[in-house]
Structure 1
Amino acid sequence: MAIKPLEGLKVLDATSNIAGPYGGAILADLGADVIKIEVPSGDPSRSMAPIDGDKSAYFNIVNRNKDLRQINLKSPDGMAELNTLLESADIFLTNFLPDRLVALHITPDELMNKYPHLIFGNLTSYGATGVDASTPGYDATVQARTGIMYLTGEPDGRPVRAGVSVLDIGAGTWLAMGILAAVIERGKTGKGSLVETSLYETGISWVSYHLAAHQISGAPSVRSGAGHPTFAPYGIFKTSDGDICIGVGSDGVFVKLCEQINRSDLAIDPLYATNVNRVANKSTLHAEIESALEGESAIYWAKKLGSNGVPADLVVPPEALFSDEQEKEVGMLLPNPDKESAVKWIPGLPIKINGERPEIYRSAPHKST
């Protein structure tokens, strides 16, 4: 039997694209009854490549476990239908810009005055207030604005977008987390709350370390490639047949690394004995380590180091997870209930409750006809 801790909660999810719908999907996975409100033209994420019938890769991911109601919010009949649904809803999610909320008469003040029990979740690009509140934005553009793109890439290269939509998925997660907190608060007061988050605020949170480091050192932030400005050795290293990622976060782990690669001399070398010195001399240290690794394969070193207390692993594409034995043990990939879809497996929530992972019991809905 599926674990559904949010069973009984009714959510109207009027969000579109990726970030907002992902927040709704989290609530749906946890058992809430989530109805996706879709305009007649369809959610833009249905057409994001690659396409899977009337869905897409993204649409399958961020709209699983939801029911569908097509509503034209620009028509009186559509707004009447929405208000009927709101009468019994616990939660209303949007990612509309402020001007559209006003035009549709569904601002937080209007709806929460009419439905005092309602929890209103609003996810925007740049926040609900300020000079940029009405500015549209996507994951990449806000990565640029918050410094994430500046930090990503090789030291001598141009800034690049992080390979995963970290702001979309992150903001959706914060939205769901805020909604859960508001549910607890309503249990105490009997009243709903306004929960607001944005891609922009999520981006600021993600660069917390760099903001703190700049205040301490006064030095400008830099791109570190696969490495890290705080630790060394840390990053990608060549072996006889491919790359391996090694992460050393303490002097003790560095000693273990040196022992496993038969270079114990490095651990007592004044240039490398402490993390601060290793960071200052990371280029020469990187070369020393690669020289020691060149005689064996990436698989050999990943197993040898990992089994001896040194964080290390292979560098592989995401699709390698389909044959990863560890994934089979933890059961992160769940079957898609839509047997006609090309997407057979979907990552579930990365949490278990009493040993059980919340299920995907309903596939993302087909477009209403």
Structure 2
Amino acid sequence: MTPSPHHPMRSNDLQRTAPLGGLTVLELGHSVAAPYAGLILAELGARVIKVENPATGDYARGWGPPFLGDDATVFHALNRSKESVTLDFSDPAQKAALKRLILDSDAVIQNLRPGLLEKFGVEADALRREKPELIWCDIGAFGKSGPLASKPGYDPLAQASSGIMSITGEADRAPVRVGVSLVDMGAGMWTVIGLLAALCERGATGTGARVSTSLFETGLAWMTIPLAAHAVSGEVRKPQGSGLSEIVPYQAFEASDGWVMIAAGNDKLFGRLCEAIPGLSEVGRDPRFARNRGRVLLRDELVPRIAAAIRGLSAAALGATLDAAQVPNCPLLRIDQVWAHPQTQAVGILTEGAGHQWVGLPITLDDARPTAGGAAPALGAHNASLLQDHG
């Protein structure tokens, strides 16, 4: 890594949990995708400066309830450990300050609507000519070219247009969106991957790069397997509820007092399942179901028989039975149950910041989870120091 000359590398004892210490990233972002990329970088030790509209700030500040203070918890969850500066791009002095902030940074992340920066004379290529080592990261909606390139985009639009919603939910029911911002957050992750790759290359060449991704491309990446199936066979996948097109049984089953996810991911596990559950021994001996290929083709016959055998068992009894048979399973948990679950506590993913717990990064480095432990900034909280430093 080549750190910014203004922010030297931290001492060796901190690099293990702050591996990006010394890196300065300017976030021209709002909503989810760019802020999530910025959050990842901040948790890894980078200094992330968030530029916001002085009138509205990041739209996510208002996405509530619930609120924590003046801002929605959505904003707090995605913008911890950052600095906030407000700039009016139409003001020449503030636009000049923006350019100085960019040129003093190692990297820029932006997900503003297409053409907005160019409208105000902020050109990525021109800035990179002025500072060749700059890494510039664009997060778009539908990509840089093509008939939808100028169309604005949000996570549900990408889920709809990439095919994700067509295979989510249950057949012959209304379309269902994945319940989290899967595409937005995925685009943020791809941005970080691209930025880190460019950072490695810069260490060897001294030259930055322009990194680009989009919500649409991210959605297509999540559809890798269904699109491959279509390319090979012409198959158009349908939604399978909690199940999976390629494996049976691999879905949630209803017990007498709740739902249990069962993942019999190979033929041996299917045999164990049939041996363990009363009433399924005959199913286990049926040669038509001996291989996964047959079980997939006979899904509509097999799944109801398994469901009938399971329905009379409690979720706890079913889980204990399958655990004893070494068949992968788990109960379906509500959000409150996930938060309080001993496994959630044991992995240590809940991090502290501003007197509250938040979900940290799902990685550890040498058994230490990288976290900056900071709070989300109030709108323009760092105007005085940053604008003084940058004219």
So what's the TM-score if we normalise by structure 1?
0.95
Displacement of 1:96 in angstroms is: 2.1
Name the SS for the 2:148 alignment partner.
coil
Equivalent in 357, 367, 379 of residue 355 of structure 1: 367
Is 1:13 the counterpart of 2:27? The answer is: yes
* Alpha-carbon distance in 2 for matches of 1:251, 1:118: 52
Q: For residues 234-287 of structure 1, give each alpha carbon's deviation from its aligned partner in whole angstroms, at most 9, with x where no partner exists.
A: 212111211111112210111111122143332220231111111122232222
- 2:58 corresponds to which letter in structure 1? D
Q: For residues 137-183 of structure 1, give each alpha carbon's deviation from its aligned partner in whole angstroms, at most 9, with x where no partner exists.
A: 10001111111111111112021111111101100110111101110
Equivalent in 58, 62, 66 of residue 47 of structure 1: 62
* Alpha-carbon distance in 2 for matches of 1:37, 1:306: 51
- 1:143 corresponds to which letter in structure 2? Q
The residue that corresponds to 1:286 in the other structure is: 303
Contact kept, 8 Å, 2:103 with 2:127, in 1: the verdict is: no
- 2:25 corresponds to which letter in structure 1? V
Change (3 A) 1:332 1:304: farther
Displacement of 1:322 in angstroms is: 1.8
Change (3 A) 1:291 1:132: closer
Q: For residues 269-307 of structure 1, give each alpha carbon's deviation from its aligned partner in whole angstroms, at most 9, with x where no partner exists.
A: 023111111112223222222232233211222233235
The residue that corresponds to 1:322 in the other structure is: 339
The residue that corresponds to 1:303 in the other structure is: 320
Name the SS for the 2:207 alignment partner.
coil
* Alpha-carbon distance in 1 for matches of 2:145, 2:191: 17
* Alpha-carbon distance in 2 for matches of 1:217, 1:110: 47
Q: For residues 310-351 of structure 1, give each alpha carbon's deviation from its aligned partner in whole angstroms, at most 9, with x where no partner exists.
A: 12111122221221011111011112x223xxxx32110000
RMSD: 1.6
Is 1:253 the counterpart of 2:275? The answer is: no
Contact kept, 8 Å, 1:167 with 1:202, in 2: the verdict is: yes
More displaced stretch, 325-334 vs 210-219: 210-219
The residue that corresponds to 1:368 in the other structure is: 380
The residue that corresponds to 1:196 in the other structure is: 212
Q: For residues 174-207 of structure 1, give each alpha carbon's deviation from its aligned partner in whole angstroms, at most 9, with x where no partner exists.
A: 0111101110010011011001011000011111
* Alpha-carbon distance in 2 for matches of 1:105, 1:222: 46
* Alpha-carbon distance in 1 for matches of 2:323, 2:42: 37
**Structure 2 unaligned regions, length at least 5:** 1-12, 382-391
Q: How does 1:101-140 map to 2 (within 5 A)?
A: 101-140=117-156
Displacement of 1:218 in angstroms is: 1.7
- 1:43 corresponds to which letter in structure 2? D
The residue that corresponds to 1:35 in the other structure is: 49
So what's the TM-score if we normalise by structure 2?
0.89
Displacement of 1:223 in angstroms is: 1.2
* Alpha-carbon distance in 2 for matches of 1:280, 1:188: 52
Name the SS for the 2:115 alignment partner.
helix
Contact kept, 8 Å, 2:250 with 2:262, in 1: the verdict is: yes
More displaced stretch, 291-300 vs 251-260: 291-300
The residue that corresponds to 1:312 in the other structure is: 329
Displacement of 1:309 in angstroms is: 2.3
* Alpha-carbon distance in 2 for matches of 1:304, 1:332: 29
Equivalent in 189, 192, 203 of residue 187 of structure 1: 203
More displaced stretch, 189-198 vs 310-319: 310-319
More displaced stretch, 287-296 vs 358-367: 287-296
* Alpha-carbon distance in 1 for matches of 2:323, 2:136: 46
Between Structure 1 and Structure 2, how many residues are aligned? Answer: 364
More displaced stretch, 101-110 vs 182-191: 101-110
The percent of aligned pairs where both chains have the same amino acid is: 38
* Alpha-carbon distance in 2 for matches of 1:170, 1:306: 33
- 2:292 corresponds to which letter in structure 1? N
Equivalent in 222, 228, 243 of residue 227 of structure 1: 243
